[in-house]
Amino acid sequence: MSLVVVKIGSSSVTTPEGEVNTRLLESLARQVAGLRAAGTDVVLVTSGAVALGWSILARGSERPKETVVLQAASAVGQHRLMAAWEAALGEEDLICGQVLLNSLDFGHRQQYLHARHTLEQLRQLRVIPIVNENDATSDSELRFGDNDRMAALVAQLVGADHLVLLTDTEGLYTADPKLDADASLISVVREIDEALELAATGTQSAVGSGGMASKLAAAKMATFSGITATIAEAERANVVSDALNGIEGVGTTFLAGERTLSSRKLWIAFALTPQGVLHIDAGAALAIREGGRSLLAAGVTGLDGAFVAGDPVEVHDENGLVAKGLITVAASDGATWIGRRSGDLPPSIAAEVIHRDDLVVLA
């Protein structure tokens, strides 16, 4: 059975007045039922708890920025959001289950596996998982900040075939269509490059926390793990099935990359927040990019951050990001290992500052 993760943004889940967009939820529920009947499982990732909660607490006021206020608004809005989904899916005789996640569930391997097992069990029980960030209790340093990145992580977590990011625009344009009359919709993307990333803009919604840039980042995460991604307009009729069937004009589709990473390397590459940066020379970059080698201390030219052994770090050469991995040494000991050959290292320092099994090439 195929599997799709569908993410719906706050600006689609709620109306301009701050109420639940019941019509859209009912439409999506019908689409989910149709997909299930055709042999495709669905995991929903929904935003909207903060927007719904804030509309009740301070109708008409601008969305707050303080974390503690956002947490309170989420606590008020989350159960209302789930009640709306339960009602919409119930009309199609579907049962839903709430799964609240935060970055710790992806940052610790055991929690990562627990989350996977929970979602798998819900699917086996024929329950539609509805995932949201646990905004009410997440510390500001532990939050994703938007559900696009989390949706990509969930897609990787459950082994989805397709990630559909639903929003209030038709997809990714060559420029901001509100500012450039010549902007055109990009239908298919085979590779996400710097020029494409520059075409993405920040959030334009008063109620959402993400934007096209965050959706592009999520699509990049998906394609790196062999998952096709589509950014499309939530209000379009049959948008999810059209996206899965590759119907022309449905939005912007990002083709899955040819290589696939193991679940552990996906976890390292995308679920963990980097605690620092290693700067490496051209020879080291070539060795890990094309030779599949470990990163040796001799190839490191400098570092940024205050990481300790076991932390995730990014690896950069003069052109930017090359890889990400789990470091075996501490930044505080940098003077004893940076740039040193294996024979010159103290006995307590490993020559492989990042072993190839813990290193994911991203360039």
The CA-based dihedral angle spanning residues 238, 241, 243, 248, taken in that order and rounded to the nearest 10 degrees:
-70
Strands lying side by side in the sheet with 162-167? 95-101, 127-133, 40-46, 2-8, 162-167, 228-233, 251-254, 188-189
Percentages helix, strand, coil for the chain (3-state, rounded to 5) are 40, 25, 35
Which CATH code is given to the segment(s) 2-264?
A: 3.40.1160.10
Strands 95-101 and 127-133: parallel
Task: Render each residue's pLDDT in the chain as its tens digit; 363 residues.
Answer: 799 999 999 889 998 888 899 999 999 999 999 999 999 999 999 998 888 888 888 766 777 778 888 888 889 999 999 999 999 999 999 999 999 998 778 777 788 889 999 999 999 999 999 999 886 665 544 345 568 988 998 998 999 999 999 998 898 888 777 778 888 889 999 887 777 777 665 444 444 444 788 888 889 889 988 899 999 999 999 999 999 999 988 999 999 987 677 777 877 887 788 999 999 999 999 999 988 899 999 999 999 999 999 999 999 999 999 999 999 999 999 999 999 999 999 998 988 999 999 999 987
Domain layout of the chain by residue ranges: 2-264, 274-361
**CATH top class, domain 274-361:** mainly beta
